[in-house]
Amino acid sequence: MNIVEQIRQLCQEKNAIIMAHYYQRPEIQDVADFVGDSLALAQQAAKTDADIIVMCGVHFMAETAKILCPDKKVLIPAPEAGCSLADSCKATDLAAWKVAHPDHMVVSYVNTSAAVKALTDVVVTSSNALKIVKQLPEDQPILFGPDQNLGGYINRMTGRKMDLWNGGCHVHARFSEEALLQLKEQYPNAKVLAHPECKQSILQHADVIGSTQALLNYAIANSPSPIANNQFIVATESGILHEMQKACPEVEFIAVPAEGGGCNECEYMRMCTLQNLYDCLQNESNEIHVDESIAKDAIRPIQRMLEMS
């Protein structure tokens, strides 16, 4: 048996489900039971009847699954897989921000630690942030964190003036506007798809702005696309190209490079491999634990998000 077959057999024996984010390595997406964006992973975790959830993603995703499923075993093949965005907002700093703005409610992106979620009124993901903020009373002042690009995008779309935390994702922040403009010249009919974690200098050139799932859905709904010459320029982590290419084989997806020509891969997302996935499942190692008192407060804003999505 090859390693993929062994992983699938272990899943059956242990009643385990493998969940993977779209930014995972192609071979991890292919072996997973479920591939999705941050919102879909949380929704799937909330309803699975598996005994073990193996989260092929970054730490906050496994933590979110554990908060939603405290009685299940949640494992992460690469426990060192952090997130620059989640790291940009410490719970103690958020607590101080709240003290300075006592009349504000806190809306936090799901890319945060459990301790930050515990201080939050409602969690959002890039799939539902706009929809959820629109449901909040217009006169309600809001602290939004930690992604200032997503927050700025929501402010522009809603006309709100949410106070924004000064955080960001290093992968989405480094896309090069110059390279994007060159690609637009090279592929003049191509549609530009961008994730709202990108800077405004990138978003201003986008035809479609949305979460990884929304960008994938757009590509599927618009393929084949003779108007766009069957070409889409994609400004998000390049892992999503695997699923896009599988779903739309007739389309050419062109990834926007980072500034200086660097790569647009999230090194944290790439830490999960077939080998550490196999080891984790076989040994039931790298189990995620969330402090009970933190989990008790963190589940409320996550459930609120699921209700408002």
Which residues in this chain contact ligand SF4 in the complex, by CB under 6 A?
23, 58, 83-85, 111, 169-171, 237, 266, 268-269
Q: How far is the CB of 226 from ligand 13P (least distance, A)?
A: 28
Binding of ligand 13P by 125 (CB under 6 A): yes
Q: Which among 30, 55, 44, 23 has a CA at the least distance from the CA of 211?
A: 23
Do 25 and 239 touch, CB atoms closer than 8 A? yes
Q: Give the one entry of ligand SF4, ligand 13P, none that residue 194 binds, where binding means its C-beta sits below a cut-off of 5 to 8 angstroms depending on kind.
A: none
The correct pick among 24, 112, 127, 176 for binding ligand 13P (CB under 6 A) is 127
- Which residue number, 27 or 265, has a Cβ lying nearer to ligand 13P? 265
Site for ligand 13P in 235-294 (CB under 6 A): none
User: Could you tell me which residues come within 8 angstroms of residue 292 by beta carbon, excluding any fewer than 6 positions away?
Assistant: none
- 10-69 positions binding ligand 13P, by CB under 6 A: 37-38
Q: What is the CB-side half-sphere exposure of residue 38 using CA atoms within 13 A?
A: 24
Q: Is residue 198 a contact point for ligand 13P (CB under 6 A)?
A: no
Question: If binding is defined by CB under 6 A, does position 212 make contact with ligand 13P?
Answer: yes
- Report the interhelical angle of 59-68 vs 292-308 (nearest 10°): 90
Cβ 189 to ligand SF4 shortest distance, Å: 29
In the set 143, 169, 277, 298, which binds ligand 13P (CB under 6 A)?
169
Token representation of residue 192: 């530009």
Q: Which CB sits closer to ligand SF4, 216 or 266?
A: 266
Q: CB under 6 A: which stretch of 1-9, 124-132, 222-230, 299-307 binds ligand 13P?
A: 124-132
Short-list 213, 218, 262, 267, CA closest to 240: 213
Count of residues engaged in binding ligand 13P, rule: CB under 6 A: 10
Distance CA 143, CA 57 (A): 27
The answer to whether residues 125 and 211 touch, using CB atoms and an 8 Å cutoff, is: yes
Q: Which two tokens stand for residue 80?
A: 């060192």
Q: Does 149 bind ligand 13P (CB under 6 A)?
A: no
Q: Which is nearer to ligand SF4, 237 or 243 (CB)?
A: 237
Residue 211 binding target from ligand SF4, ligand 13P, none, CB below 5 to 8 Å by type: ligand 13P
- Sequence-distant (6+) residues with CB within 8 A of 62 are 55, 74, 75, 76, 288
| Beta-carbon count within 10 A of 124 CB | 27
Strand residues in the chain grouped as ranges (E): 16-21, 34-36, 52-56, 73-75, 105-109, 122-124, 142-145, 163-164, 191-194, 208-209, 231-235, 252-255
Beta carbon nearer to ligand SF4, 62 or 122: 62
Among 108, 176, 211, 276, binds ligand 13P (CB under 6 A): 211
Q: What is the rounded CA–CA span in Å between residue 56 and residue 35?
A: 9
Nearer Cβ to ligand SF4, position 119 or 171?
Answer: 171
Asked if 111 is part of the footprint of ligand 13P (rule: CB under 6 A), the reply reads yes
Closer to ligand 13P at the Cβ: 126 or 176? Answer: 126
Give φ, ψ of 55 to 5 degrees.
-100, 105
Positions that interact with ligand 13P (CB under 6 A): 37-38, 111, 125-127, 169, 197, 211-212
